[in-house]
Every structure is written in structure tokens, then in C-alpha cells.
Amino acid sequence: MKLLRWLLALVVLAYAAWLVWPLAASLLGGQDMAIERAAVEASDKGANLPLGVVWIAAAALYALSAFLLGNGNPRAFVAYLLGFAADAFLKIALDGRSAAAQADVAMRSTAVAESGVDPLWLILGGLAVVGVLVFALSRRRKRRRSLYETA
């Protein structure tokens, strides 16, 4: 069970890295690319909060969930649920609104987009399935006392 929990923690951590990669790549790409990305983020605001902040918060919550899940902490599901909520808000807010979002979806899911399936709902459905697995694996197992055990 511990191996399965660690494997799922690695999957969640890999998704957090994949989620934050466009921001990290734009920052590492040079000053011109970072300025262009900041201008796009400043123009795309959701609920008076820059979407870059929500993006980083979702990735940080996913990473926190992965570390808590690796340690067997039942709070991993709460962190994952908050990260999922931030990620879902981000994906729905960016859905078709900006050129950066369209380029991000086109870059990451060309095979899925060619199949005719909406990648937004496919990704959110996959994340919900992973959330159920995180919930199942982060629950503490209580040891049952047998009838013959003495205290």
C-alpha cells in the first residue's frame, strides 16, 4: 500500500511540475518573454486576482498534497481538493479567453484536440479520478484489536 501511495504522490508531483512549466519556461526564456507573459497575465484577471497567482497556488497545493500523501497524512486530500479547485477555476477562466491559453492547450494536447474530445473536461475528469485515489490512499487505517489481544 505504501508503494502505491508513493507512486500516486509522484504522479501528483509530476502534474504539479507540468502545470507550472509554462510559467517557469517564460521566466527562464529571457526578459522579453517574461515581460510578454506578465502583460498577458495582467490582461487576464479573474475575480480581481491575477491568474498567475492562482496558477502558482494550484501547483503549490498539488505539490503539498504529494508530499503529505507520501508521508501518509490524511490532510493530503484537503490540499489536493484545494489545488483541484484552483486548477479548475484556472482552466475554466482561461478556456478560450486568451491567446496564451489557446497556445497552451494546443501545445499540450494536440493529439487529444485532433480526436474531437474537449481537453478541458478530459483533464478535469482525470484529475477528479486522481482525487478519488488520493482520498482512498490518504485515509488512515485503524488497526482493529482482536478478541484475544490483551492491553
pLDDT digits (tens, 9 = 90+) for 64-98: 999 999 888 889 999 999 999 998 888 887 765 55
Note whether residue 108 is domain-resident. yes
Cα–Cα distances in angstroms (integers) from residue 107 to residues 19, 49, 68, 89, 102, in the given order: 13, 25, 31, 20, 8
Question: Which domain covers residue 130, as residue numbers?
Answer: 2-138
| Domain count within the chain | 1
Distance CA 68, CA 44 (A): 32
Distance CA 90, CA 139 (A): 28
Note whether residue 8 is domain-resident. yes
Note whether residue 149 is domain-resident. no
Note whether residue 143 is domain-resident. no
Tell me the per-residue pLDDT of 96-143, one tens digit each, with 9 for 90 and over.
Answer: 555 555 555 555 555 555 666 667 777 888 889 999 999 988 876 666
Residue 150 — φ and ψ, nearest 5°?
-110, 150
On whether the CB atoms of residues 130 and 8 are closer than 8 A, the answer is yes
Note whether residue 30 is domain-resident. yes
Note whether residue 26 is domain-resident. yes
Residue 75 — φ and ψ, nearest 5°?
-75, -5
Note whether residue 150 is domain-resident. no
- Of the candidates 113, 93, 103, the one whose C-alpha atom is nearest the C-alpha of residue 25 is 103
Note whether residue 145 is domain-resident. no
